[in-house]
Amino acid sequence: MRRLLLATAALIAATGATYSQDAKMSFFVTSVGSGKGADLGGLKGADAHCASLAEAAGVTGKNWAAYLSTSDTDARDRIGKGPWVNAKGVKIADDVASLHSDANGITKQTALNEKGEVVNGRGDKPNRHDVLTGSKPDGTKIADQTCGDWTMSGAEGAAMMGHHDRTGLDESAAAKSWNSSHASRGGCSQEALKGTGGDGLFYCFATN
């Protein structure tokens, strides 16, 4: 009985430690998209999706913003001041400047989803490394590559995307960019996004 009680206490302590670590999460890649391609319901819908996923993962008390630019908004201005850590407590960046520099900590191993899971990248099946951003490398907008400010899901339009795994077809800076690798091809539908190695996923940052 004593051994059982000690084992139970150890399990509770371990679970508590894990929850405490997860509760600090302030950055993640969405585990799922909207299911409607790049139609996220605009910025409002995307932010709500971030909040819903975080809450389901047990992280509360934070204000969440999707890392997405629109025709009149820069993604870098939406996400607070930092620092940001993933679901395992690993720091991604100290501030907006370091996030948009070569010093950021975004890799396949650190760009986890809200559950603390690694997101499929190039070489995995299915590949899901294309992440919606609508942004240039510095986090400012590309006005004509936001799929109608994240309201389109058909054959028209395009979305700029980054590679969360920092891997592409070559060794170019674009191929290794987490936020500005290439535009979608064939429109903004779920099928178009999947066609280049995506799934309608995007980055979420806590602003507080």
Q: Which domains does the chain have, with CATH numbers?
A: 2-206 (3.10.100.10)
- Angle of CA points 165, 107, 184, to nearest 5°: 30
Residue 22's pLDDT is what? 62
Q: Is the pTM of this model over 0.85?
A: yes
- Can you give the length of the chain in residues? 208
Q: How many CB atoms lie within 10 A of CB 13?
A: 10
3-state secondary structure of 135: strand
Q: Which amino acid is at 79?
A: I
Q: Is 69 exposed, middle or buried (0-12, 13-18, 19+ CB in 10 A)?
A: buried
Model confidence pLDDT, tens digit, residues 82-96 = 999 999 999 999 999
Asked if residue 3 has pLDDT above 60, the reply is no
Distance of CA 17 to the CA centre of its chain: 24
3-state secondary structure of 201: strand
Instruction: Please tell me the distance from the alpha carbon of residue 114 to that of residue 150, in angstroms, as a whole number.
Output: 21
Model confidence pLDDT, tens digit, residues 166-201 = 999 899 999 999 999 999 999 999 999 999 999 999
